[in-house]
Structure 1
């Protein structure tokens, strides 16, 4: 039952963070929506920061996996889009809610920032000049930023369009 409660807490927290912002949603509110006491919530998670970390961990781990397994810039870009689409709601929280950027969340946000930097470097290819690096950064942003803007577009359709736009920026065939 404990695993089920943890899942309910995470699902509820993600819904509240998405609706109200990370900063505005309180631990008390999360506990009330789950139907547990605040001390019970603290038994499962020590803080909101720990909840956020658990919410984004699957996406971060999948993105890290893409960076280590992809063999081409195209695989990096496609794999990152796939990971972000699979974890769309958690990624939208990171992309649109500035209140997740706090002193307490530095570790989580640093991981995400490092992933973006590594992905951009890999997309830029071998020995890129600064222009190629700029294009890689633009392409990564073009392929990932809109994910939170179109929550109702089917993932496959959105993926195809995101790839189309990013490859145009990169001037890939």
Structure 2
């Protein structure tokens, strides 16, 4: 049997085993996150958060090791920790990114932050009716802020 073929088979088998290990960690992390969303006792929170951090760290390490093996199997030097171009290549699991945008920018954002303060009863809410009330309150405040902002723009001279 061709030695390069044997090597290729070994790489594929080890890659699949690593992918299975990463998948197992990912499944456990998803189950823990579901538990966090569904509810828990307040005294359980620190333990659950520690488990979440541990599993997230293990998953990232597993994916990094898998990435390093994939890169090494292609006879290229392993990616440096800060080299994002190499990180995207060869990763077995899809990754997503989170884009956070604010409804306002610049001066308008600063004005909004001064204008609206979330009521204390809207923090850490799990009751659907309370969430709806908070969202409605925020929407009404946003409409009022937009009207006031437009009036301010209409009164101010152009720059």
* TM-score (norm: length of structure 2): 0.31
Which one has the bigger helix percentage? 1
Greater relative contact order, per chain length (Cα 8 Å cut-off, separation 6+): 1
Structure with bigger gyration radius: 2
